[in-house]
Amino acid sequence: MTMGERTRLSSSAYGAASASGDRRPFWGALVSHSGYQSLTDLIFKSPRRQFLLLASLPVAWVLVAHLGPILQMFWVSFLDSYPPTVGQEPGFTVANWKKFFEERIFMMPFFRTLIFALIVTLSTLLLTYPVAYFLAKHVKRRNQMIFLLLILIPFWVGEIVRTYAIMILLGNNGAINLLLKSIGLIERPIPFMYTTFSMSVGIVYLTALYMLLPLYSALEKIPDSYREAAADLGAGPWTRFWRVTLPLSKEGITSGCTLVFLISTGFYATPVLLGGPSTTVFAETIAGFFHVAGDQWPVGAAFASIMLIATLALTGLFLKVMGRGGKGLLQ
């Protein structure tokens, strides 16, 4: 080794040391700082204390911000007046809950909402299953991202904007009526708007992705060899679908249906804009107690509680049935 090489080597080694040395002082100085040390000692010395600190914010947040509003809503639903008037203690009553069972104008929107949500869920499932199947099984893996992205982009757009887009599509002077008129199928515009139909188109448009993504990820997980094995054993296309693909995608169907059902019961703006007087959903009834009919918060709270219990009970039941059925089919 010549002298020149040695100098170069040592200087490069020195250079590397100084380069890493440039970064080290910050962390080194931080760690050796006495204030930092006493702070980390305080936090990390006992594992128990460390865990309690780690758990403190999540537990507090979840209880106060996630559970609190729901419990408070139940509480208010049993009061005879809220917000409280000054110097007056609100009394307890079950009248708010009874009101729901006594009047037809409240029951109707409630059942309409549930039936409507079921129809929407089923239509979304039928509409998106072939799409998800195509994406998971027929699109080449390296193209899947682009094909998926094409579907994702419209779903980033907000609820109101997409509802408005549907209004333009279905209106009396809308695109569909214009198309039908120009090819001579109709003379007068078909009144699509403010009906159950326009509402369904709108809500399916808003919720399709929540069905499609779980279906896609369930279908994607099924190995192609399963279908090939079924084919080797003599199963035709339909048998392969009914006996192999469908049972194995059950998990995706279950979570997709649960999501779409829960989301579609909760829409407020879309039914207001796309529906009419004969399609009032329960969300509008509940909102009425907060915005239109003066402040009848306790009644609104009771109705919202009824809806929450009903939707969660129905989805719980559905999950239980699907869970058992799924196991039975897989055995």
Query: For residues 252-271, which are near other proteins according to CB under 8 A?
Result: 262-263, 265-269
Phi, psi at residue 302, to the nearest 5°? -65, -45
Q: Compare residues 59 and 115 and give the one whose CB is closer to other proteins.
A: 59
**Which neighbouring-strand residues pair with 92?**
79
Q: How many residues in total does the chain contain?
A: 331
Helices (H), 134-249: 141-156, 159-170, 175-182, 196-221, 224-232, 237-240, 246-248
Rule CB under 8 A: which of 266-305 touch other proteins?
266-269, 272-273, 283, 286-287, 290, 297, 300-301, 304
Binds other proteins by CB under 8 A, chosen from 69, 184, 234, 277: 69
Q: Compare residues 58 and 91 and give the one whose CB is closer to other proteins.
A: 58
Rule CB under 8 A: which of 86-115 touch other proteins?
none
Residues 64, 72: contact at Cβ < 8 Å?
no
Q: Which of 291, 249, 22, 46 is nearest to 128 (CA)?
A: 249
Rule CB under 8 A: which of 129-188 touch other proteins?
130-131, 133-135, 137-138, 145, 147, 149-162, 164-169, 171-175, 177-178
Binds other proteins by CB under 8 A, chosen from 14, 51, 111, 242: 51
Instruction: Give the whole-angstrom CA distance, residue 244 versus residue 137.
Output: 14
Q: With the CA atoms of 224, 228, 231 and 235 taken in that order, what torsion angle do they form, in degrees rounded to the nearest 10?
A: -40
Q: Least Å distance between CB 284 and other proteins?
A: 9
Binds other proteins by CB under 8 A, chosen from 9, 42, 44, 327: 44
Residues 296, 278: contact at Cβ < 8 Å?
no
Q: Least Å distance between CB 326 and other proteins?
A: 20
Instruction: Give the whole-angstrom CA distance, residue 124 versus residue 209.
Output: 9
Question: Given its phi and psi angles, is residue 227 left (phi above 0), alpha (psi -120 to 50 degrees) or beta?
Answer: alpha
Q: Say whether residue 48 binds other proteins (CB under 8 A).
A: no
Tokens for 145?
A: 């991202």
Q: Compare residues 9 and 312 and give the one whose CB is closer to other proteins.
A: 312
Rule CB under 8 A: which of 19-38 touch other proteins?
27, 30-31
Q: Least Å distance between CB 134 and other proteins?
A: 4
Binding string, residues 204-243; x marks residues near other proteins by CB under 8 A: -x--x----------------------------x------
